[in-house]
């Protein structure tokens, strides 16, 4: 095993002196409303499906939070979602496709821009054509909305939504004695991190078991399994797993700012460690590529200071 230094302990759990390497992205927030919470959630879940990694999905997306009635644009049950992508062009493509296929189709829903700013991407201005010429627009408070006739009434959709610079790929890894222990530690971290705004954890349940490294023995593959953290490969690789560790899981975070990502990492790590001794958590570290690919470096020592 390669010996990686630790710089501190939290609740008796070692924290490696490592850093998470993250990347520039662009993001938008959408607010989905519906007749009741059930349908708002169904639309949000469908729209953010298959959006775990830009490597193959085109975007990374998830539910950010539920909004109160006072925060809802139309006073109905409302869900905020965040969508991240590598460029404004790709972000717009993904947003229009996903809203068109998953929110326009969902009974009783409407969609609103969830952030303001000078940088804009299309939303209802492209989806309006589904109305086949029967669609009409209305400007309220300087914001344009499209009303598209559908079989349950009207689909109301804001014409555009703003986008902002963002960060993808913040992360930390939990190394535990068993898979069940690693899962419990990550679930505890997720419960704490989901109380935060401006961040999402795009993988299923917020957690990835398939942490990757850059490149592969196969030249056509851009990313492949991070073999040094695979317990079954410990005897034949320069493993980074300490003795007694049987499973490693990675929590991946996208955020609107560096401060948002750092805060989420800090909250998640501390929550995992506070509960971790009950679940056999041995160590926390972070995934990086030697600092060569991502311009944002989140050092655990600084985040937990």
What confidence tens digit (pLDDT) does each residue in 11-69 have?
A: 999 999 999 999 999 999 999 999 999 999 999 999 999 999 998 999 999 999 999 99
| Element of type H or E holding 96 | helix 88-102
| Element of type H or E holding 156 | strand 153-158
CATH of range 25-162; options 3.40.50.2300, 3.40.50.720, 3.30.70.520, 3.40.1190.20: 3.30.70.520
Sign of the CA dihedral 225, 230, 236, 240?
positive
The per-residue pLDDT for range 166-214, each reduced to its tens digit, is 999 999 999 999 999 999 999 999 999 999 999 999 999 999 999 999 8
Identify any residues that bridge with 285 across adjacent strands, giving them in sequence order: 173
Task: Tell me the pLDDT of the chain averaged across its residues.
Answer: 96
Residue 121 has pLDDT above 80, yes or no: yes
Q: Do the Cβ atoms of 185 and 272 come closer than 8 Å?
A: yes
Q: Do the Cβ atoms of 30 and 81 come closer than 8 Å?
A: yes
Residue 2 has pLDDT above 80, yes or no: no
Q: Do the Cβ atoms of 245 and 175 come closer than 8 Å?
A: yes
- Please state, as a whole number, how many other Cβ atoms lie within 10 Å of the Cβ of residue 88: 14
Split at pLDDT 50, 70, 90, the class of 293 is confident
Maximum Cα interatomic distance, the chain, rounded to a whole number of Å: 67
What is the C-alpha separation between 59 and 9, in angstroms, rounded? Answer: 35
Instruction: Decide whether 6-18+166-303 matches 25-162 in CATH topology.
Output: yes
Strand, helix or coil at 298? strand
**The tokens of 233 are what?**
């490969």
Split at pLDDT 50, 70, 90, the class of 142 is very high
pLDDT at 227: 96
Q: Name 297's Cβ contacts closer than 8 Å, sequence gap at least 6.
A: 19, 20, 21, 22, 288, 291
- Torsion (CA) 79, 85, 89, 95 in degrees, nearest 10: -20
Residue 4 has pLDDT above 90, yes or no: no
pLDDT at 42: 98
pLDDT at 3: 55
Q: Which residue has better confidence, 3 or 266? A: 266
Share of residues in the chain with pLDDT > 90 (%): 94
The per-residue pLDDT for range 271-286, each reduced to its tens digit, is 999 998 899 999 999 9
pLDDT at 292: 82
What is the C-alpha separation between 115 and 164, in angstroms, rounded? Answer: 9
What is the C-alpha separation between 283 and 241, in angstroms, rounded? Answer: 9
pLDDT at 1: 38
In the chain, where the domains are located: 6-18+166-303, 25-162
CATH of range 6-18+166-303; options 3.30.70.520, 1.10.645.10, 3.40.50.300, 3.40.50.720: 3.30.70.520
What is the C-alpha separation between 44 and 63, in angstroms, rounded? Answer: 7
Residue 218 has pLDDT above 70, yes or no: yes
The per-residue pLDDT for range 77-108, each reduced to its tens digit, is 999 999 999 999 999 999 999 999 999 999 99
Split at pLDDT 50, 70, 90, the class of 289 is confident
pLDDT at 19: 96
Q: Which residue has better confidence, 2 or 212? A: 212
């Amino acid at each position: 095993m390669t010996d990686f230094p630790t710089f501190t302990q939290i609740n008796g759990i070692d924290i490696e002196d490592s850093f998470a390497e993250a990347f520039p992205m662009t993001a938008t927030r959408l607010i989905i409303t519906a007749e009741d919470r059930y349908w708002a959630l169904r639309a949000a879940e469908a729209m953010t499906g298959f959006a775990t990694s830009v490597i193959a999905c085109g975007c990374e997306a998830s539910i950010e939070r539920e909004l109160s009635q006072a925060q809802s644009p139309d006073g109905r049950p409302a869900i905020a979602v965040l969508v991240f992508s590598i460029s404004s062009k790709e972000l717009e493509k993904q947003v229009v496709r996903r809203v068109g296929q998953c929110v326009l189709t969902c009974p009783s829903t409407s969609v609103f821009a969830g952030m303001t700013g000078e940088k804009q991407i299309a939303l209802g201005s492209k989806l309006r054509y589904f109305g086949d010429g029967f669609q009409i627009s209305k400007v309220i408070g300087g914001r344009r909305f499209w009303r598209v006739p559908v079989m349950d009434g009207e689909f109301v959709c804001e014409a555009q939504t703003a986008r902002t610079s963002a960060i993808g790929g913040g992360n930390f890894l939990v190394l535990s004695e068993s898979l069940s222990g690693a899962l419990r530690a990550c679930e505890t971290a997720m419960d704490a991190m989901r109380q935060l705004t401006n961040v999402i954890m795009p993988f299923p349940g917020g957690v990835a078991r398939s942490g990757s490294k850059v490149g592969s023995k196969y030249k056509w593959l851009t990313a492949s399994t991070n073999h040094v953290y695979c317990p079954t490969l410990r005897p034949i690789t320069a493993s980074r797993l300490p003795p007694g560790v049987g499973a490693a899981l990675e929590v991946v975070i996208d955020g609107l700012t560096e401060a948002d990502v750092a805060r989420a990492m800090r909250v998640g790590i501390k929550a995992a460690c506070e509960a971790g001794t009950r679940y056999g958590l041995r160590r926390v570290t972070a995934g990086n590529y030697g600092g060569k690919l991502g311009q944002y470096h989140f050092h655990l020592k600084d985040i937990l200071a």
